[in-house]
Structure 1
Amino acid sequence: MKMRLTDLSVKKLKSPTSGQVTHWDEVTPGFGIRCSTKSKSYVVMYGERRLLKTLGRYPALSLAEARKRAKLFMATEASLETPNQEYDFEDLVEVYLEDCRLRLRGNTLQGYSLYLKQVKLSGRISQITQGEILRAIERYTKSPSSQNYAFTTLKVFFNWAVKRQHLTSNPLSVLGRPHKSQSRERVLCDEELKLLLRYTLMHQGDRFHDIVSLLIMTGQRRGEIADLQWSEVETDTLVFSRNRTKNKRAHTVPLGSQAIELLHYIDGGEVHVFGTALSDVPFSGWSRAQRRLVKETGLAHFTLHDLRRTFATNQARLGTPIHVTEKLLNHISGTISGVAAVYNRHSYLDEMRAAVAAHDEYLTDLLAT
């Protein structure tokens, strides 16, 4: 069904009683909006096999932005029509990042963009050698960890270029990361955790300190807490949709009394808003804020992910069954996996609430000593 898509016409589209109906735009060929019984999603059709790609849901994604994404996506896919077209490295990076914007989370895209533009390479993509790439990584990145991240980012990029037939082979395909990663085992002891939590609670209203406090209390991932929306905060739970979690699984997290009290404090006035309406403005300056926190507390170096490991360790100390801890952490692999994961649909929400209550009591006693 073809029609001229406008903001008003999209708004007036009615949901079908069953199935799906797609309305194709008369202005932008291949672009349309698919209406189901519960939602409306912008789509684009591409390729000889007339494949469909979902661009985003209405009204979270505006018509103008969806149309722009559709044009960019079709322009990217059109490059498959000319597989031998030569690109300069910088130009192909821009095409790649536009493609990434359509399918990757913001944090991932930000990391890719950082390293692809930080490591300076130039010239025809097919003429760049393995040696040039490795020398550029060593020259433009400082720490072993950032060299590893840059290497992985470029390896993924060159794989994409091969898939799009801009290259015949990936110059980094046979190589591993420059530096062997060491698995981290840092767990904060009670005294360290008490000192850290007292410090962050004493500085309520500072966004980074509030993030750290919630990480200690909930054990969730950094990005999930940093990008928290008020719509995800219910009375005594956090509810994350599948597009907000690392493993693409919806996740419900019970909250202890301290986390609830902190969120009420954050929401208590304009001065103490967590970001702007929680996360309208992405948090930046992680490394600088982390270094300042370590310096001001006098603690030995730790990462924010160590707080998640500490949360899991303390749950074990409190006697929480491992499968309940994994539910709290939203882990896919673990004690409930394979066939058991398929047939076991129990949410364990009551068990999770009990575990969170025990952890909340543990933190209360810790702060009181």
Structure 2
Amino acid sequence: MTQSVKLTKTYIDNLQASAKDAMSWDSELKGFGVKVTPKGRKVFLVMHRPKGHIGAPKKYTIGTHGEWTVQQARDRAREILTESSKGNDTGAIERADRHRKSSDILNDLADTFLKKHAAQNRTHDETKRILEREMLPKHGRKSIHVITKHDILSVLESIRDRGSPIMANRALAAIRKFMNWCVSRGIIDVSPADSIAHLAKETSRDRVLTPEETKAALLTARTIGYPFGPIVELLFMTAQRRDEVTGMRWSEIDLDKALWTIPAERAKNGKVHDVHLSKCAVALIRSLPRFVLTGKSKSDLVFTTTGETPFSGFSKAKNALDAKMLQAMRKQASENDRDPDQISIPPWRLHDIRRTVATELSKLGIAIHVAEAILNHKSGTISGVTAVYQRNQFTAERRDALDKWCDRLDMITLNDAANGVDNGPQYNNMMAQ
């Protein structure tokens, strides 16, 4: 290094450009200086040799005069030299950090997550839909290393603000699952979704359809047709979960034995579940069309419009079902000399069908442990060691219960007198799942 001088604003302002880079070194801090380029740019830099480093000194560019004051640049140079004395190369560390922040793009990570991890989970389709619809369009091109809590909150709040607060909670769960996977892979150290609370309070459901509503739902479902109509009917006939019914495969069904076997990978509790098919369910399934794929091979999916994926248009279909149910119930009221304008249907969801069936089974005298076995609850009246030995039992009882329920459904849909039947005590404690 050549002659040094205490660098000041006045001194640097008076420096002139020359044909080559010209250096001026600070007399106050060794290694700190300013470079004047042929185009007149004045750049602060510091030369340092990290402890243990063998070879030429390292150059760290701080920034240009004007963006940095002399004192700010000198203080930064002092920080670099302090780190260097510890063996740290600040420039190399920052370059590695910039490279890291330009890699691990969210779109790429989400693709790997959905293919290798989430695909093994029964909620894969919902997780995929949420990430691809809500998170990736806004932040998919960013590195995960720059994703902040604020970014995630902006996604969730936009969902809430369009009138879907519960979906915002579902989105948080999907995003949190993805971020936790990234943590487990060592891609990030801390999830930006940590400590984010649900945007909407969820309360336990206790909605049970009345016999009149059940009748309207079933009769309306028959007018809607395949695939959503039969899905609704089968939900009532079997009391299974929506995604389990919608994802039903022909290979899972033995109509001669009146048996539907839900494999472990599709069951919510991860256990194989045998569902007895009553005469109502067998007749319905026999009436369903079989989707033919290109090449005349048959799709294994029972409910599909593509042959490749299960039916998924629930929101629109459910709205249509509700509208037609209300229309039918008001028509019935008018025929019975009741004011149709006084008829309304409180909000309900397809999962409420399971609670409704549970309630009706209890009124039919079906034991709670048999009803729980039908619903395939992971925990219930029988638990612990006893459950291990009894998990394959109650087959005859379940078959008898669903056959009785089939007869009850026939009575509800065919006998107008059923409209006046008392709904009885609600059987809500079974519906935690």
Say yes or no: TM over 0.5. Answer: yes
2: CA distance between counterparts of 1:115 and 1:267? 31
Alignment of 1:30-69 (within 5 A): none
**Are residue 124 (structure 1) and residue 151 (structure 2) matched?**
no
CA distance in 1, matches of 2:285, 2:322: 24
Instruction: Specify which of 256, 259, 265 is matched with residue 243 of structure 1.
Output: 265
Instruction: Report whether the alignment pairs 1:361 with 2:407.
Output: yes
The reply on whether 1:215 has 2:235 as its aligned counterpart is yes
Please list, as runs of the form range in 1=range in 2, the aligned pairs for 1:21-36 lying within 5 A after superposition: none
Asked if 2 retains the 8 angstrom alpha-carbon contact of 1:294 and 1:300, the reply is: no
1:293 partner amino acid = L
Q: Post-superposition shift, 1:85?
A: 4.8
Write out aligned runs for 1:193-342 (5 A): 193-203=214-224, 205-234=225-254, 235=256, 236-266=258-288, 278-279=302-303, 280-281=307-308, 282-298=310-326, 299-342=345-388
1:147 counterpart residue number: 168
* Contact 2:235/2:245, CA 8 A, preserved across alignment: yes
Pick the structure with greater CA Rg: 2
Greater alpha carbon shift after TM alignment, 319-328 vs 114-123:
114-123
CA contact (8 A) 2:240 2:375 kept: yes
Task: Report the Cα distance in structure 2 between the residues aligned to 1:188 and 1:89, rounded to whole angstroms.
Answer: 43
Distance 1:147 1:285 in 2: 19
Maintained 8 Å contact 1:254/1:353: yes
- Could you say what the CA RMSD is over the residues aligned between the two structures, in angstroms? 2.6
Deviation digits for residues 120-152 of structure 1 (CA, Å, limit 9, x no counterpart) = 225332222212220232125631011111111
Distance 1:174 1:101, change over 3 A: closer
Distance change (3 Å), C-alpha of 1:184 and 1:219: same
Does the 8 Å CA contact 2:159/2:165 hold for their aligned counterparts?
no
Distance 1:131 1:85 in 2: 21
Letter in 2 for 1:200: A
- Is the CA contact 2:209–2:353 (under 8 Å) kept in the aligned structure 1? yes
1:304 aligned counterpart, secondary structure: coil
- The DSSP-based 3-state class of the residue aligned with 1:238 is strand
2:113 to 96, 100, 116: 96
Q: Could you list the runs of 5+ residues in structure 1 that have no partner in the other structure?
A: 1-81
AA in 1 matched with 2:172? F
CA contact (8 A) 2:290 2:302 kept: no
> Aligned letter for 1:331?
H
Shift of 1:114: 2.2
- Indicate which of 197, 205, 208 corresponds to 1:187: 208
Cα-to-partner distance string for 1:140-173 (whole Å, 9 max, x where unaligned):
5631011111111111111111111111111222
- Paired residue secondary structure (2:409): helix
Change (3 A) 1:190 1:275: farther
**Does the CA contact (< 8 Å) of 1:238 and 1:252 recur in 2?**
yes
Tell me the CA shift for residue 253 of structure 1: 1.2
User: TM-score, structure 2 length as denominator?
Assistant: 0.60
Task: Please tell me whether the aligned partners of residues 224 and 245 of structure 1 are also in contact (alpha carbons under 8 angstroms).
Answer: yes
Q: Which moved more, 1:184-193 or 1:335-344?
A: 335-344
Q: Do the aligned partners of residues 227 and 174 (structure 1) sit closer, same or farther apart at CA in structure 2, a change above 3 Å counting?
A: same
**Aligned pairs, how many?**
282
Judge conservation of contact 1:85–1:166 (CA < 8 Å) in 2: no
TM-score (norm 1): 0.70
Contact 2:264 2:270 in 1 (8 A): yes
* Conserved? CA contact 1:200–1:209, under 8 Å: yes
CA distance in 1, matches of 2:232, 2:299: 14
Offset from partner CA, 1:11-65 (integer Å, 9 cap, x none)? xxxxxxxxxxxxxxxxxxxxxxxxxxxxxxxxxxxxxxxxxxxxxxxxxxxxxxx
The CA deviation at 1:317 is 1.0
Structure 2 Cα separation of the partners of residues 182 and 221 of structure 1: 19
Does the aligned pair in 2 maintain the 1:126–1:167 contact within 8 Å?
yes
Aligned residue identity for 1:129: T
Please tell me whether the aligned partners of residues 250 and 300 of structure 2 are also in contact (alpha carbons under 8 angstroms): no
Partner of 1:111: 126
Q: Secondary structure at the match of 2:261?
A: strand
Letter paired with 1:88: I
Greater displacement, 285-294 / 92-101: 92-101
Contact 2:121 2:265 in 1 (8 A): no
- The alpha-carbon deviation at position 201 of structure 1 amounts to 2.8
> Residue type matched to 1:150 in 2?
A
